[in-house]
Structure 1
Amino acid sequence: MRSSGAALFPIALLAALAGLTFWLSSATNDNDPKRRAKERHDPDFTVENFTVERFDDQGTKTQTLKARQMNHFPDDESTEVTFPELTYFTGDRPTQIDARSAWLNKDGKEVRLKGNVRLVKAAGAGHPQTVLQTEALTVFPEEELARGNTPVTLRQGGSVVSGDRIEYRGKENLAILEGRARGTFPRVQKQ
């Protein structure tokens, strides 16, 4: 008995379909750990109770970051930090920023702070202490710039000013309040 190519065609077609079905099943398998890891936002490492210090080219400390926990995420190279305390030692007056949490993009050029955010610029050289409080603030460390779209209160000496939004320019020591701004300023006594 001779078998013709026409008789073998259905068997070859079934084998090809079986192979394709197996390939589709493995390609879309949600149980593959490598495939799931790339699609999920899971940390690849965690650090607890740490301090990181940054120095300039001359060896002078410029920044310190302390926090309870840090998680790094490989899918977008972002970092999340709980209870961060960030101190900048630029200029003649150090600035401290703390919050309940922070998110940093992959190169650290954008930091989003959330929950009881406080920025404190120390008093010095005829300038009173400045305290900024809000619920969310985005900081651009290299530019010493901070922006917030939530209600904010700013205290400097005896003066208290609040507004709906803020832009804080650290290099200029300038705060720009937007929206409904209101303030209380102490009366200056003439001598």
Structure 2
Amino acid sequence: MGAGRRLRQGWDRLTIYLPMLLMLLLALGTYWLMRSAPLFATPRAEKEVRRDPDYEMKRFSVKTFDQEGRLKSEIYGDQAWHYPHNDVLEISGVQMRNYNIERGYFTLATATRAITTSQAKEVELIGNAHVLRPAVVDKQGRALPRVSFRGEYLHAFLDEERVFSNQPVELIHGESHIEAQNLNFSNYDQVIELRGRVRGTLLPRGPVSDIQVLPSTASE
């Protein structure tokens, strides 16, 4: 009887602590799962975006074509670096041609250095920058005058045929010659906005159909 009573007392004590033991085992098991499962693992720091060039080209040329296989643009350069984090192409000794296939003419852009995207729809020209559209008769039979821009900085939107500069620039439009501190030119709208100190010669019957000078400090 003594042995049986001691066994029952031991069992009773064990049943008192059993819930606590089960909770402890459950907590240990949960902790082990959290440490083992990737879902609950300590998140790793995101990989830093690569900001150095992923490739480099020397003495290269790149051509793009439209869906019908017609030449749309050409880029030549002495050296180029592509930056993947913003898809920017930096080119030294650059020469670019953009073809207006519908109207039948091209625009030429050259500079010491250029910054553009892989699609080359717009380009920043830095150092001895020049944008030129030669005089031409387009496919509609209209005579288009020569348009030339020169400066240390030109921002050209090639598809829109627009040129912007916040630095001094020289413009030749047909027989007209203008120098300004800031310029915004749209070939489609045939509008030239000139800001700051402006000087030059505008022919009254020249090809410039609309000139906006802001402020009005132009002198001929």
TM-score scaled by structure 1? 0.69
Q: What is the aligned partner in structure 1 of residue 81 from structure 2?
A: 71
User: Matched residues in 2 for 1:135 and 1:48: separation?
Assistant: 24
User: Matched residues in 2 for 1:157 and 1:77: separation?
Assistant: 37
Q: What amino acid is the match of 1:138?
A: H
User: Which of 131, 136, 139 is residue 148 of structure 2 equivalent to?
Assistant: 131
Asked if the contact 2:121/2:159 (under 8 Å) is kept, the reply is yes
CA RMSD in angstroms, aligned pairs only: 2.6
Asked if the contact 1:76/1:106 (under 8 Å) is kept, the reply is no
Q: What amino acid is the match of 2:79?
A: Q
Asked if the contact 2:163/2:184 (under 8 Å) is kept, the reply is yes
Deviations 1:142-167 (CA, angstroms, capped at 9, x unpaired): 33322110011111333211111111
Give the drift of 1:105: 4.0
Per mean C-alpha deviation after superposition, the further-off stretch among 119-128 and 165-174 is 165-174
Q: Identify unmatched segments of 5+ residues in structure 1.
A: 1-26, 28-34
User: Which of 187, 196, 210 is residue 179 of structure 1 equivalent to?
Assistant: 196
Deviations 1:146-191 (CA, angstroms, capped at 9, x unpaired): 2110011111333211111111223345433222221124698xxx
Q: What is the aligned partner in structure 2 of residue 104 from structure 1?
A: 116
Give the drift of 1:139: 2.3
Does residue 59 (structure 1) correspond to residue 69 (structure 2)? The answer is yes
1:22-33 equivalences under 5 Å are none
Asked if the contact 1:134/1:152 (under 8 Å) is kept, the reply is yes
Q: What is the aligned partner in structure 2 of residue 11 from structure 1?
A: none
Structure ID, larger Rg: 2
Percentage identity across paired residues of the two chains:
27
Deviations 1:76-125 (CA, angstroms, capped at 9, x unpaired): 33221111111111023321011111112466444221001101111123
Asked if the contact 1:147/1:167 (under 8 Å) is kept, the reply is yes
Cα distance change, pair 57–171 in 1 and its aligned pair in 2 (3 A) = farther
Q: What is the aligned partner in structure 2 of residue 16 from structure 1?
A: none
Asked if the contact 2:89/2:116 (under 8 Å) is kept, the reply is yes
Cα distance change, pair 62–175 in 1 and its aligned pair in 2 (3 A) = farther
Q: What is the aligned partner in structure 1 of residue 172 from structure 2?
A: 155
Asked if the contact 1:100/1:116 (under 8 Å) is kept, the reply is yes
Asked if the contact 2:50/2:84 (under 8 Å) is kept, the reply is no
TM-score scaled by structure 2? 0.61
User: Matched residues in 1 for 2:188 and 2:95: separation?
Assistant: 20
Q: What amino acid is the match of 2:200?
A: G
Give the drift of 1:67: 0.9
User: Matched residues in 2 for 1:149 and 1:111: separation?
Assistant: 15
Q: What amino acid is the match of 2:104?
A: D
